Amino acid sequence: MFKRLLLLCLVAGAGSCALAQERQTENVIIITLDGFRWQELFAGADSSLIYEKDYVHDKSVLEKFWDSSPVARRQKLMPFFWNVIGAEGQLYGNRELGNRVNCANPYWFSYPGYSEMMTGFVDNGIRSNDKKENPNATVLEYIHKQKEYTGKVAVFSTWNVIPYIVRAQAHGIPANAGEEHAIGDTLSDCEMLLNALQPILKNGHGERYDAFTFFYAFEYLKRERPRVMFISFDETDEHGHGGRYDEYLKSAHHTDRMISQLWQWLQSQEDYKNKTTLLITTDHGRGHISRKAWKNHGRLIPGSSQMWFAVIGPDTPVLGEMKNEAQYFQKQVAKTAAAFLGIHYENTEPVGEVIESMFIPELLSDSRIMDLHR
Ligand SMILES: [Zn+2]
């Protein structure tokens, strides 16, 4: 009888049933793949690049990632994004369908992008990638200031400027970036191994691999059970600038696998299962006009402001690839991430609006999603 009642009110979708409209998200994890294009996310390996011998030294990527069908290609490249998020979540930014996501900032490189994403607005004064503390507060510190989240927010990144962009140190948010070792006094075997290997195993650009960032984050998650995390990967951008399309594809694929591993674990844990929303995005796009344009990005390179979002979690309707004509902006991430936790985020400047389609409609009329902690 109870089941039938619940079903009835789910079907009716009316505002009368409290059971059907409870917000489920208690944890949010924001993940970024630096400079990873929407073109590869939605159509897989690019036919004009994967056969270029200047860009592809490792021919195995042809076998791994090529197919004449763009839908098959994207599934080969990003199987978690398409088999899991595509089936249970949402993907925004396929411009072929008129679904557009852009940076609102006019610079189209990393610091301005991450700052826009995390503060929720554009500060035109932010126009360098220098390791300087952001003059603006971010959504992470806003959440961290809420009593129940203090000490429950953490940041892991390959790029060592990320902690400055989110002002982690100044606000006591645990952060691990660049060459830093694991956070904590009692480390797991895995963390001790990572600490030992990190100085030895560097990528071709002298930086740590994204896998270190991932496993440091994963071990911290298992041990400290944070409620909000920002995990920022960097290899896709590095290989883009390096002109190695094979490595760019492999990095995206590895990242997809790491996110899959993370999601499987989250869905196996009592305190995270069906209570965690993943919000995945990028800091900027890359060029696409000429054959070499994909290597770079910036205000003089058309296409660099084009980006994408992916989201999966208990409060997000299953819509898969978004096919509606619409325009979204990077600055909407901050307020949307907070809204998943029922936190109404604001800053000294007006911030980008909540992306309403990421929430089941019943939740949008629920004042708790906007104002719970005010
Ligand atoms: Zn870059």
Helix (H, G, I), strand (E, B) or coil at 50: helix
Please tell me the predicted confidence (pLDDT) of residue 306.
Answer: 98
Amino acid at 111: Y
Q: How far is the CA of 297 from the centre of ligand 1 (A)?
A: 6
Confidence of residue 17 (pLDDT cuts 50, 70, 90): very low
Q: Does residue 250 contact residue 258 with C-beta atoms inside 8 Å?
A: no
Q: How far is the CA of 296 from the centre of ligand 1 (A)?
A: 7
For tokens 């980006």, name the residue.
307
The closest alpha carbon to 255, from 279, 239, 229, 236, belongs to 236
Please state the domain extents for the chain: 34-371
User: What does DSSP assign to residue 86?
Assistant: H
- Top pLDDT among 284 and 371 is at 284
Measured distance CA(62)–CA(41) in Å, rounded = 17
Q: How far is the CA of 242 from the centre of ligand 1 (A)?
A: 10
Indicate whether 212 pLDDT > 90. yes
Q: Is the dihedral of CA 308, 313, 314, 318 positive or negative?
A: positive
pTM of the model: 0.92
The closest alpha carbon to 277, from 310, 322, 324, belongs to 310
Measured distance CA(363)–CA(339) in Å, rounded = 10
Indicate whether 198 pLDDT > 90. no
Please tell me the predicted confidence (pLDDT) of residue 249.
Answer: 98
pLDDT above 70 covers a percentage of the chain that reads 92
Please tell me the predicted confidence (pLDDT) of residue 16.
Answer: 45
Give the environment of ion ligand 1: residues with CB less than 5 A.
35, 237
Please give the mean pLDDT across all residues of the chain: 92
When pLDDT is averaged across residues 2-7 and rounded to a whole number, the result is: 48
**Structure token pair of residue 222:** 């298992």
Q: How far is the CA of 227 from the centre of ligand 1 (A)?
A: 29
Please tell me the predicted confidence (pLDDT) of residue 316.
Answer: 97
Confidence of residue 251 (pLDDT cuts 50, 70, 90): very high
Q: How far is the CA of 207 from the centre of ligand 1 (A)?
A: 14
Q: How far is the CA of 313 from the centre of ligand 1 (A)?
A: 29
Indicate whether 256 pLDDT > 50. yes
The closest alpha carbon to 342, from 28, 116, 13, 17, belongs to 28
Q: Quick one: 34-371 is in which CATH superfamily?
A: Alkaline Phosphatase, subunit A (3.40.720.10)
Indicate whether 183 pLDDT > 90. no
The closest alpha carbon to 182, from 200, 194, 168, belongs to 194
Among 3-12, 189-198, 239-248, 305-314, the least confident range:
3-12
Confidence of residue 18 (pLDDT cuts 50, 70, 90): very low
Indicate whether 247 pLDDT > 90. yes
Taking phi over 0 as left and psi of -120 to 50 as alpha, with beta for the rest, 94 belongs to beta
Q: How far is the CA of 165 from the centre of ligand 1 (A)?
A: 16
Q: How far is the CA of 103 from the centre of ligand 1 (A)?
A: 14
When pLDDT is averaged across residues 10-38 and rounded to a whole number, the result is: 78
User: What does DSSP assign to residue 300?
Assistant: T
A 10 A CB-CB count for 51 gives 14
Q: How far is the CA of 218 from the centre of ligand 1 (A)?
A: 25
When pLDDT is averaged across residues 128-136 and rounded to a whole number, the result is: 96
CA 276 to chain centre: 14
When pLDDT is averaged across residues 31-49 and rounded to a whole number, the result is: 97
- Top pLDDT among 203 and 327 is at 327
